[in-house]
Amino acid sequence: MIAMNSLPRRRFLSTAALVPALLSPLSGKVRSAHAAGTPIPSGLGGRFYKTLKIGMIRDGETLVEKFAIAKTAGFDGVELNAPGYDIDEVNRAVAETGLPVDGTVCAGHWEVRHSDPDPGVRAKALETLLGALEATHAVGGHTVLLVVGHGKDGSEEEVWERSVANIRQAIPLAARLGVGIAVENVWNEFCYDHQGGADQTAEKFVKYIDEFSSPWVGMQFDIGNHWKYGNAGDWIRALGKRITKLDVKGFSRAENKFTPIDEGDIDYADVVKALIEIGFHGWCAAEVGGGDAAYLKGVATAMDRSFGLAS
């Protein structure tokens, strides 16, 4: 299993809207904090690995070709959607390109939810998660990204209790396989106030992860998703070792919209400082619109620039 930020087996918790296609990462006026002159702290080099969602790779007919394109563009891994792929085909792509599958995204987690009031739907969500853990392990991945539910399924307490009880049943398999469950903070109206301001904290997410009391449940913290609701650096500090992986996209509070990674007004200087403070070692997945090989190289370059990795 590939080393991550304090691998789940090495840590124990003390108590623990789909993004629209975005513009080219190099287009438009750059407004991020680092672009405005704030220096990005050094310190992530050699312990920060770039990955991307498989759907972003628009060129290539086969997985071998797609993996090769991602590698040439400057990525260190690929995230797949699981279950649902041909395991032999994926392993062949890994072997021929040398590019690993660092993790997966659980298939159908938006539509078939762990928080659904119907026990039958929750059973199907659990079945899918178990299948995703098995499929991820079979291709060498070490996390399954999971949207745990949606606020529309009931009160916060109901969504909390249903999702925790359902997901908890997958922990024994996750532990046996060595594949972590990585909860993503998304626009699902849960553990934050969707109508609230940008002064919200990560307190509820901290308590939610801790509810599992397991080193096999952590967070894939999406830096762009909650910049609208709170300061990413502060959220990272609060979540600490619960963060096992990152997602990144840009966001502009001024325009109230998602942007390419190196646009918008995210304070990447503070994000990097916070990641250094919590001792982050691991993967960060680009989650923006897809494109051809040249476009993907631009995404990788934008990540390097945003996180202070550019030479």
Q: Is residue 117 part of a domain?
A: yes
Count Cα atoms within 13 angstroms, Cβ side, for 218.
Answer: 32
Q: Is residue 194 part of a domain?
A: no
Q: Is residue 155 part of a domain?
A: yes
Q: Is residue 160 part of a domain?
A: yes
- Cα-Cα end-to-end distance for the chain: 29
Sign of CA dihedral 132, 134, 135, 140: positive
pLDDT in tens, 71-107: 999 999 999 999 999 999 999 999 999 999 999 999 9
Question: What's phi and psi for 277, nearest 5 deg?
Answer: -65, -35
Q: Is residue 1 part of a domain?
A: no
Question: What's phi and psi for 160, nearest 5 deg?
Answer: -60, -55
Q: Is residue 311 part of a domain?
A: no
- pLDDT above 70 covers a percentage of the chain that reads 87
Give me the helix-helix angle, 63-73 and 87-97, nearest 10°. Answer: 40
Residue predicted with more confidence, 293 or 27: 293
| Range of the structural domain that residue 280 is part of | 8-189+199-306
pLDDT in tens, 118-152: 999 999 999 999 999 999 999 999 999 999 999 99
d(CA 253, CA 226): 10
Q: Looking at residue 37, what is its pLDDT?
A: 55
Q: Is residue 302 part of a domain?
A: yes
Q: Which CATH number goes with the domain that contains 156?
A: 3.20.20.150
**What's the 3-state SS for the chain?**
CCCCCCCHHHCCCCCCCCCCCCCCCCCCCCCCCCCCCCCCCCCCCCCEEEEEEHHHECCCCCHHHHHHHHHHHCCCCEEEEECCCCHHHHHHHHHHHCCCEEEEEECCCCCCCCCCCCHHHHHHHHHHHHHHHHHHHHCCCCEEEECCCCHHHCCHHHHHHHHHHHHHCCHHHHHHHCCEEEEECCCCCCCCCCCCCCCCCCHHHHHHHHHCCCCCEEEEEECCCCCCCCCHHHHHHHHHHHEEEEEECEEECCCCEEECCCCCCCCHHHHHHHHHHCCCCEEEEECCCCECHHHHHHHHHHHHHHCCCCC
Average pLDDT over residues 172-199: 97
Q: Is residue 274 part of a domain?
A: yes
pTM metric for this prediction: 0.88
Tally the domains of the chain.
1
